[in-house]
Amino acid sequence: MHRYAPVRRRRLLAAVASLGLVAGLAACTSPGPANQPAETANTAATASTFPVTITSALGDAVIESKPERVATWGWSAQDAVLALGIVPVAMPAYPYGGVDGVLPWDAEAIKALGGQTPTLLKGGESGEVNVEEFVAVKPDVILAPYSGLTQEEFDALSKVAPVVAYPDKPWATTWQDQATLVGKALGLADEAEQLVSDTRAKVATLASEHPELKGKTFVYGAANEPEVFNIYRSTDPRVQLLVELGMTVAPSVAELDPKPDEGTYFYGLSFEKLSKLDSDVLVAYFGSQKDADAFTADPLVAAMPQVKDGRFAPIVGESFVMASSAPTVLSIPWMLDQYVPQLAAAAAKSAG
């Protein structure tokens, strides 16, 4: 279990407020029974925006009226829902990075909204959809814009409620598009647009405060397989977030890609080829400091110029891994304030 200091809690609540959640709070009625959604004052005003049709790579979601019972699937849809002032009736359990299955920024948002913990979908632990879990919570809509839903799963869930899946490829929807899709599905498009604008401003402010990041090249990877370094392609949201900070994906990422057209968000590179992975900064995530130390202790890793010169900026801790791997309007302010100074320090050591 993780324990979060009061200062971190205050920082998160301030970030939530700056992204518009407090406005949603003011509009919410008193919380109802467990797993009931919080209602917003603009329900009547948005009723005329329905029905809504949202097209995804797997099919259409036709939402006839404003959803009252919202379920989410994937890594991060619940963040946008909560930031818009609504507590879902169900969302995935997060044993990795969460406390009792709930990610820390979500727990803070639920508390700020005066809600109760949603039903935690146990299928989230394995990544496999359990249709019966969704049937039990009787959702009006299922939001899964950042997920790995298969066509079979989409079709099965669509018999329960309209499903908003990813617009193009699995696990590739930007945090901006996630918020926009969720806002459209909930009849809160304007509020979602404001969340995106506020979050972009937050990222831009951090970039301006750390000009040493501008133009520096980086590689973003994960050492989660023996003797293989998994490298994230430029289409991955976690990579795009660093680009928004002013950095540039290193050319070596594309040069070493064995199958650039395979359509996935990462590829594996054997440790023997790490010397060819040229960049100003190396970024990788680890569940613990022990894991990070084990990675840099490998002779082939230790020989990398980025590691030898202190241009390695690891993301350490399960919650931080989740926050950076699935950036959202809630997780971005939660983690960037703490990580960007470390990233900037590594970038400052590059002569490029």
What pLDDT does 47 receive? 52
pLDDT in tens, 26-52: 333 333 333 343 333 344 444 558 999
pLDDT band at 352 (very low <50, low <70, confident <90, very high): low
Distances (CA, A) of 253 to 29, 230, 239, 268, 336: 50, 11, 11, 11, 23
- Return the structure tokens found at 334: 């939660």
pLDDT in tens, 159-212: 999 999 999 999 989 999 999 999 999 999 999 999 999 999 999 999 999 999
pLDDT in tens, 323-337: 998 899 999 999 999
What pLDDT does 261 receive? 87
What pLDDT does 33 receive? 34
**Mean of pLDDT values over 107-126:** 92
DSSP run (H or E) holding 219: strand 217-225
Identify whether the C-beta of residue 94 lies closer than 8 Å to the C-beta of residue 326.
Answer: no
pLDDT in tens, 211-243: 999 999 999 999 988 999 999 999 999 999 999
In DSSP terms, which residues pair with 268 in a beta bridge? 230
Question: Would you call 174 helix, strand, or coil by DSSP?
Answer: coil
State the Cα–Cα distance between residues 270 and 288, nearest whole angstrom. Answer: 22
Distances (CA, A) of 114 to 26, 34, 111, 186: 11, 11, 5, 20
In the chain, the amino acid numbered 298 is D
Residue 252 has pLDDT above 90, yes or no: yes
**Mean of pLDDT values over 46-73:** 92
**Mean of pLDDT values over 278-306:** 97
